[in-house]
Amino acid sequence: MNQTAANTESSIYQRVLLNINDGIAYVKLSRADKHNALDLTMFRAIVKAQQTIAKNPSVRVVIVHGAGESFCSGLDVRSVLANPLTGLKLLFKWLPGNANLAQQVSVGWRRLKVPVIMVLHGNCWGGGMQIALGGDFRIAANNTSLSIMEARWGLIPDMGGTVALRENLAADHAKRLAMTAQTITAEQAQAINLVTVIADNPMQVAKEMADSIINRSPDAIREIKRLCQSISYWQERKILAAETIKQLKILLGKNQKIAVKREQKNANIPYR
C-alpha cells in the first residue's frame, strides 16, 4: 500500500477492509457471517489497521463500522477456547502497563492523533463495546443493542474500554452496566452518555462530522483530542495493568468456570 497517497484501499487478513479516501480512513470490520465476532486474526487485523493509519499523514479522520447485521457481537468464544494458546496471545504483555493485543483494539484508537468516529448498528456487545469505547464519538443506528457483556462469563472488562468508561459515564452507570451485563437500546445508551448521537443513517452523520473536522486546523484538532482525554498517560497504564492482573486472578479461580458452565446451559451464545 502507498501510505502517503490520498486514496488507498486494502484488505487486512480478510478481516478488516481499510479504505483511505480524501483524508478519511474507513475501517470496516468484515466478518459479517459471524457478526464481526473477534477471533485472534481479527484482533491482529484491527491493530494492523491502526498502525497503518498512524503512519499515513494524509488521514485526518477515521470512521470505523461493521459489515452485515452487526457492528461487532464480541469475542468469538468458541474460536478462542478451541486453542488454549490464543488466550495467552491476547493477554501477553512485556510490562503490566503496556496494552496487550486485546486492549490495543480499544486503546489503539485513543492513541491515534486524529479523531475516530464509531458507526454502530445491530449488536455492539462485549468486545465490540470495548472497541466502540476507543472512539472519540459513537454514532448509533436506532436498532443498536449495546452491552458490556463480560460479567456473563464471570469476567471483568479487560480490553481497555474501562479507560473511556471512566471518562464518559458516571460511576454508577458504568458499574451497573459492567456488573449486570445488561443489554440496552441506543436511546438508553445516549441517556447515560455511552452513545453520542442516534441517527437513521449513522454513516451519513459520521461523514458530515468528518467533513466538518477536516475543514479545521489539524494541529488544533490533534491538541483538542489530547486535552479532552481526561485520563493521563500514567493513569491509563495503571488501568491497563489492573485490568490484566485482575482478569488473570479471576481466570485462575473457580467462580469464572462456574459462570461459563451456567451460560453454556442457559443459552447458546457464542460471543461475549
Residue 209 domain-assigned (yes or no) = no
| Distance from C-alpha of 63 to C-alpha of 17, rounded to nearest angstrom | 12
At 240 the pLDDT is 81
Residue-wise pLDDT for 109-119, tens only, equals 999 999 999 99
Instruction: Please report whether residue 169 resides in a domain.
Output: yes
Threshold 0.75, pTM exceeds: yes
pLDDT band at 4 (very low <50, low <70, confident <90, very high): very low
* Residue 205 resides in a domain: no
φ, ψ for residue 133 (rounded to 5)? -65, -20
**Listing from the earlier edge strand, what are the strands of the sheet with 123-125?**
123-125, 145-147, 184-185
**Does the pLDDT at position 265 exceed 70?**
no
210 occurs within a structural domain: no
List, for residues 245-259, the tens digit of each pLDDT value.
Answer: 777 787 777 777 777
102, amino acid identity: A
Expressed as residue numbers, the domain containing 159 is 7-200+218-266
Residue 70, domain member (yes or no): yes
Q: Report the CATH number that the domain containing residue 243 is assigned in CATH.
A: 3.90.226.10
Weakest-pLDDT range from 58-67, 76-85, 177-186, 191-200 = 76-85
Confidence at residue 84, expressed as pLDDT on a 0 to 100 scale: 66
Residue 64 lies in a domain: yes
Report how far residue 155's alpha carbon sits from residue 178's, in angstroms, rounded to the nearest whole number: 10
AA identity, residue 163: V
Determine the pLDDT at residue 5: 44
87, three cell numbers: 488466550
Task: Give domain status of residue 171, yes or no.
Answer: yes
Dist. CA 252–CA 264, nearest whole Å: 19
Query: Which pLDDT does position 2 carry in this prediction?
Result: 38
- Arithmetic mean of pLDDT over the chain: 87
Q: Per-residue pLDDT for 26 more than 90?
A: yes
Burial 163-187 (b: 16+ CB within 10 A, else e): bbbeebbeeebbeebbeebeebbbe
131: CB partners within 8 A, 6+ apart: 46, 64, 72, 105, 106, 109, 118, 159, 161
* 80 within domain boundaries: yes
User: Whose grid coordinates read 493485543?
Assistant: 101
Alpha helices in the chain (DSSP H): 40-54, 77-82, 84-91, 101-111, 127-133, 161-168, 171-180, 186-191, 202-214, 218-228, 233-251, 254-266
User: pLDDT tens digit string along 28-52?
Assistant: 999 999 999 999 999 999 999 999 9
pLDDT at 264: 65
Residues for the chain: how many in total? 272
Q: Is pLDDT at 128 greater than 60 in this prediction?
A: yes
Q: How many CB atoms lie within 10 A of CB 151?
A: 19
Instruction: Identify the sign of the CA torsion 62, 65, 71, 72.
Output: negative
Q: Tell me how many domains the chain contains.
A: 1
Residue 54 identity: A
Average pLDDT of the residues in 190-194: 96
* 16: nearest Cα among 25, 5, 6, 7: 25
Nearest to 132 by CA among 221, 71, 60: 71
